Amino acid sequence: MKLLELRRLSKVYPNGTRALDSVTLSVDRGEFIAVIGLSGSGKSTLLRCINRLIEPTDGTILFDGSDVTHITGEQLRRYRSRIGMIFQQFNLVGRYSVLSNVLMGALGSVGTFDSIVGRYPPALRQMALRNLEIVGIADKAHVRADSLSGGQQQRVAIARALMQEPQLLLADEPVASLDPATSHSVMRYLGYINRELGMTVVCNLHFLSLVREYSTRAVALKAGVVVFDGSPAEIDQEWFRHIYGEDAVEVEIR
Ligand SMILES: Nc1ncnc2c1ncn2[C@@H]1O[C@H](COP(=O)(O)OP(=O)(O)O)[C@@H](O)[C@H]1O
Ligand SMILES: [Mg+2]
């Protein structure tokens, strides 16, 4: 059942900041985990340690039963290709078409030359169009990426991540630069991909209302320590103040 297991994972940055402090967390297949916590609590560091964009200082990462903590080279490259990632800032190439951007998600399986001249195998194009359909935006395939709204661009980024057919989707505050209505639209597609495609999602989120609506489990970090791990419904006022501090006020995002 377990897809990912972190055992006593720590990260101390060269300047001495302890961003993760002995984090133990196990993720089952099919879960939608929201990682919450104040800015600076270690959410991004956690996600980046999972796909080894950041090297943990201590601890173990098990993925699909294998220890991936210290793998390098081709093994590391293959491991990363099993994990999709979505960022706050979408990271699309604005002057390229939506379809080209989605196809870039398949770069691992096409030669660089082919990708530059846009000669992708028809099967990959079909797959890219299917993934655009999944995020409800297939009609935009041939427009420039930078002509889309923020929410639409994030959906393109999701379609791009799906090209890897990842086993795990990591999303680092995917709606942090979007307005509330658009945020829900993006979250709904992530929820759909989780439920209907059975994809496991770990998503850093700022707003508790989104956590309650879309995630199956919430993990709260405070100064790099897991202080809550359970059902989002259990996060009452007392938990909220424990996680976010005495002075925090919950903001609804509708
Ligand atoms: N490259 C870095 N070098 C030093 N400290 C860092 C670096 N990246 C993040 N930090 C620090 O690590 C802590 C956790 O940061 P981060 O993982 O970005 O938290 P979050 O995503 O929850 O805002 C913060 O104190 C932050 O300042
Ligand atoms: Mg962050």
Q: Is 233 part of a structural domain of the chain?
A: yes
Answer whether 37 contacts ligand 1 (Cβ < 6 A). Answer: yes
CA angle 28, 31, 34 (to 5 degrees): 120
Residue 66 lies inside a defined structural domain of this protein: yes
Q: What is the pTM of this model?
A: 0.94
Q: Is residue 62 part of a domain?
A: yes
Q: Which residues contact 98 (CB under 8 A, 6 or more apart)?
A: 132, 137, 140, 141, 142, 143, 144, 145, 148, 156
Q: Does the beta carbon of 244 sit less than 6 angstroms from any atom of ligand 1? A: no
67 occurs within a structural domain: yes
CA of 19 to the centre of ligand 2 (A): 11
CA-closest residue to ligand 1 atom 14 = 42
DSSP states of 10-45 as a string? EEE-TTS-EEEEEEEEEEETT-EEEEE-STTSSHHH
Atom in ligand 1 nearest the alpha carbon of residue 54: 1
219 inside domain: yes
Q: Whose CA is nearest to atom 27 of ligand 1?
A: 40
Residue 247 domain flag: yes
Domain count, the chain: 1
Domain that holds residue 207: 1-82+168-174+202-254
Task: Say yes or no: CB of residue 185 within 6 Å of ligand 1.
Answer: no
DSSP 177-201: TS-HHHHHHHHHHHHHHHHHS--EE
Tens of pLDDT, residue by residue, the chain (254 residues): 799 999 999 999 999 999 999 999 999 999 999 999 999 999 999 999 999 999 999 999 999 999 999 999 999 999 999 999 999 999 999 999 999 999 999 876 656 655 655 678 889 999 999 999 999 999 999 999 999 999 999 999 999 999 999 999 999 999 999 998 899 999 999 999 999 999 999 999 988 989 999 999 999 999 999 999 999 999 999 999 999 987 777 777 66
**Pocket flag, ligand 1, residue 55 (CB < 6 Å):** no
